[in-house]
Amino acid sequence: MSTQEAPSASQRQLCARCKDQAKLHCPKCLNLDLPKFLGAFCSQDCFKAGWSEHKKVHQTSGAWLYCRRRGQDFSPQFPDFKWTGPLRPDRVGPPRLGRFQRAFKGQIIQKEGYQRVRFEAVPVWRGKELAALKNACRLGREVLDKAHAAVQPGITTDEIDRVVHEATIEADAYPSPRNYYHFPKSVCTSVNEVICHGIPDCRPLEDGDIVNVDVTVYHRGFHGDLNETFTVGDVSDEHKLLIKVAHDCLAHAIEIVKPGTRYRDLGEVIQKHAAAHGFSVVKSYCGHGIGRLFHCAPNVPHYSHNKAVGTMKEGHVFTIEPMINEGIHKDVTWPDCWTAATADGKRSAQFEHTLLVTHSGVEVLTERLPTSPLLWWQKDGGIIS
């Protein structure tokens, strides 16, 4: 199903409820600086009759109210917030709707379930359930590849969100991030110094940027989660190296996944490789179990000397997603309560796979396909000129 398109100038004056000619606008929508067509009504009676449904627009918009403006026009709204790097949030477009919008109102997958299950035993997946989980992961890979193919200078991360949203809906799936604890978009796009959970907006990607695209799809009861960091145009050698090291940290961790391996040992492998190249590992965020829940046991930290509990067993499914920083490991959260940026403003890169522990080792459920767009070293032969 196609996403919601911005209407023409004439259409914007139609009532959001009955589509008659609009004569007034919702004051709350105007205060939030939302697109006028979302809050246009023909009469006070129509506004009152549609209020129970319309107010949901305000609830999901509150999480990204801060994103209305950028740069100096925006900063006065948060005079005490210390931006750590040059990146600023830009305008965030209206939410994209799909045929699963009502079924997944408020992201039905968790809330209570997350709190109850996340600390319990790691699920063991077999048979038809495992097959369905694998299929969700394969769909996630296909969606991420479409997003990767769209990355180029001049494209906005909001446009990447459109690509992800439409590809997910066309695959008869739901974008797991959409409305997850009020996250406003269908994918996380983290640019330059943003470590993770970046909200897609209208800032065009610039030559020399790096961008992480984190895709999760929900298909027939299961989630598939993965991400990769891409170059935008001509990227410096230092930042190419950062991306490659983040990829290799994940690859080295995957090499030790097998029954009997302690989850805490993954962090030792990751930090050793990152430190060897002068980079640091983020400690605030970790990998996680995944399946019927977006996030559940086990927790999978990426740094050494962590306190993760448990050992891997056949049938365990979880993500490894190390976030590697050019500078210090510490992070700062933007006023949207989602976007995590490096505390020193230097860049960060990340890669993620969903993994299945097999009887003899590991199966990468989100592995790259022969048709996957090439990463920078695959195109350049791994050579930094």
Q: Pick out the residues of the known binding site.
A: 197, 214, 225, 288, 295, 321, 352
Residues 61, 66, 67, 68: is their CA dihedral positive or negative? positive
Separation CA 287–CA 296 (nearest Å):
10
Amino acid at 319: T
Separation CA 322–CA 270 (nearest Å):
7
Amino acid at 92: V
Contacts of 48 (CB under 8 A, 6+ apart): none
Binding site listing for Zn(2+): 214, 225, 288, 321, 352
Separation CA 313–CA 330 (nearest Å):
32
Binding site listing for a protein: 197, 295
Peptide bond preceding 298 in cis form (omega within 30 of 0): yes
Q: Whose CA is closest to 216, among 166, 176, 259?
A: 176
Amino acid at 50: G
Amino acid at 157: T
The per-residue DSSP string of 1-24 comes to -PPPPPPPTTGGGB-TTT-SBP-E
- How far is residue 166 from each of residues 261, 303, 361, measured CA to CA in Å? 39, 36, 35
